[in-house]
Every structure is written in structure tokens, then in C-alpha cells.
Structure 1
Amino acid sequence: MSDWFMNMIVLWTFILLGLMFIGGFFMFRKFLKRMPKEDGKSILDWQEYYINKALPLWKDEQRQLLNELVEPVPELFRDVAKEKIAGKISEIALNEQATTLTLDTIIRGYILATPKKDHRFLIKKLKQKDIDLTPYEHLLDRQSKARSKRELQEAVERKQSS
């Protein structure tokens, strides 16, 4: 009986240590993003600056589109992803001295703010929204684009063979 109990304690110890390492990893990443760079502002400070500065450019329809674009992101990380994407869109708009946010600006910011490993989901979401990706091919990861095309061709072939 005590052998079983000791094994459970050891197992529980490893589970807790694993969870603490995972939590610590994400906290450390957040800490690094909050660290000031050479200009005295952190990545998150600049992101917040761009969002606040471009806030008058954001209309309800652009906010709605942003919410739709981040739907594939798990709910736990959705707010962080939305802020990162909104920050990149706002940065592009301010650098180009735009008076309004266009679909082109939103799509470019969305692509640039999304990690390359997630471009497959990004492409899928943009195709669902019937957005032509041709003008943005230079921004997309070639590997995920080829994988997405291959998956699309396989789906078409399966549908045709049925």
C-alpha cells in the first residue's frame, strides 16, 4: 500500500513541476517582451503606443474583421493575438500616414504579425473570407503556402473521386 502511495506522490511531483515550468516559460517570455530596448521602450510599450495613436482610424467594421481573423486562435491566447495584430496593423497605418484603415493594411498587418508556423491557418481563414492572396504572396511563408495548396488539391481529388 505504501509503495502505491509513494509512486503517486512522485508522479504528482513531476506533474506539478512540469506545470510550473510551462507557466514559468510563458511568464519569462512576457517578462522579456516587457524589457526596455535601446530606445527605452519595450515591444509591448510600442505595441500599445501604435494602438492608442491609431485608435481613431479603427471603425466598427475593421474591429469586426479583426475579431473574425483571430477566431482560429485558442480562446486563452486570443486577446494577446488580437493586440499583437492590432499593433502591427496600427504601426503600418501610422508609418504610411493613412487616414483610414483599408482591407489591404489589415491583411498585411495580419500576415506580418502572425508567426510563420501559423501561416497555414492564416491562409485558410483568408480563403474562407474570399480574400485574394496574390498581392500578399511575398509576405507569406512559401512552405506553408505549398502545404496549403497540396491539402486543397488533395481535398478536391477526394471530392471528385467520391
Structure 2
Amino acid sequence: MNDIFITLIFVWTVIFLGLLAIGGFFMFRKFLKRMPKEDGRSELDWQDYYIHKALPLWHDDSKSLLNELVTPVPELFRDVAKERIAGRISKIALDEGAEKIQLDHIMRGYIIATPKRDHGFMKKKLTQLGIDYTPYNEYFKYADDEKNKFSIFDHSELIAKEIQK
């Protein structure tokens, strides 16, 4: 009886510490994104800025497409993914002086804001929706990956430099 009780306490301790470590990892990542950069704003501050500035450019069709594109993301993380992608799409549209968010803006922002490890799911979803992503293949190299951690809002300058070449 004593051995069973000690075993249960040990198992509960391991599970509790594991869950605590997982939660701490995600909280720490969010904390790092809230840290101000050289310009005094964090990644999330810039994301919110672009979304709010471009809000009049978003119409029902572009909002519904964005909602459909993030459906493969688990529901727990879907809002975060949608905000990240919407921030990138908004920046692209604002940089180009667009009057409305178009499919072209959505595709480029969606590809760049989606981490490379999720591109398989993204391509599958685009194929299901009947959207041809081959004209946007060049943008896949600008997507965020685990090796090159940089702001998704720095891509405009990288793309402009490569287009000029």
C-alpha cells in the first residue's frame, strides 16, 4: 500500500513538472516577443500597429479567407496565428499603398508569416481551397524558421533588395 502511494506521488510530480515546464516555455516565448527591440517597440507592438492601421483595407471576403486559411492550426493557437498572419498581410498592403487587401497580399503574407515547419500543412490547405501557390514559390524562402529568428516585419526590405538585383 505504501509503495503504491509513493509511486503515485512520484508519477504526479513528474507529470506536474512536465506541464509546468511546457507552460513556462510558451510563456517565456510570449515574454520575448513583448521585449522592445532597438526601435522601442516589440514584435507584437508592430503587429498590432499594422493590423489597426490596415483595418479599413480588410473586407469580408479577405477576412473569411484568412479565417479559412488558419483552420489547420489547433484551436488553442489559432488566434495567435491569425494575428501574426494578419499583421504581415497588413504590412505588405500598407507598404504598397493598397486600397483593399487582395488575394496577392494574403498569399504573400500567409507564406512569409507561416513557419517553414508548417508549409506542408499550408500547401495542403491551399490545394484544398483550389488556390495555386506556385506563383509565390519565391516567398517560401522568406518564411520564419527555427534557425533564422528574425522579425516577420523585416522581410519587406529583404525582398526589395532581391528584386532590385
TM-score, scaled to structure 2: 0.84
If asked which structure has higher relative contact order (CA below 8 Å, sep 6+), I would say 2
- 1:12-71 per-residue CA deviation (whole Å, 9 max, x = no partner) reads 001000000000000000000000000000000000000000000000111000000000
Name the aligned partner's letter for residue 125 of structure 1.
K
Distance, in Å, in 2 between the alignment partners of 1:134 and 1:82 is 22
> Aligned with 1:63: secondary structure?
helix
- 1:108-144 per-residue CA deviation (whole Å, 9 max, x = no partner) reads 1000000000000110111111111221111226xxx
Listed as ranges, the gaps of 5+ residues in structure 2 are: 142-165
Question: Are 2:15 and 1:15 aligned?
Answer: yes
Matches within 5 A, 1:25-40: 25-40=25-40
Name the aligned partner's letter for residue 118 of structure 1.
D
Higher helix proportion: 1
> Aligned with 1:37: secondary structure?
coil
Q: What is the count of residue pairs matched by the alignment?
A: 141
Instruction: Quote the residue 2:129 is aligned against.
Output: 129
Distance, in Å, in 2 between the alignment partners of 1:127 and 1:140 is 16
Counting aligned pairs with the same residue, the percent is 67
Structure 1 segments, 4+ long, off by >3 Å, are none
Distance, in Å, in 2 between the alignment partners of 1:104 and 1:96 is 12
Distance, in Å, in 2 between the alignment partners of 1:107 and 1:7 is 53
Matches within 5 A, 1:1-162: 1-140=1-140
Listed as ranges, the gaps of 5+ residues in structure 1 are: 142-162
> Aligned with 1:124: secondary structure?
helix
Larger radius of gyration: 1
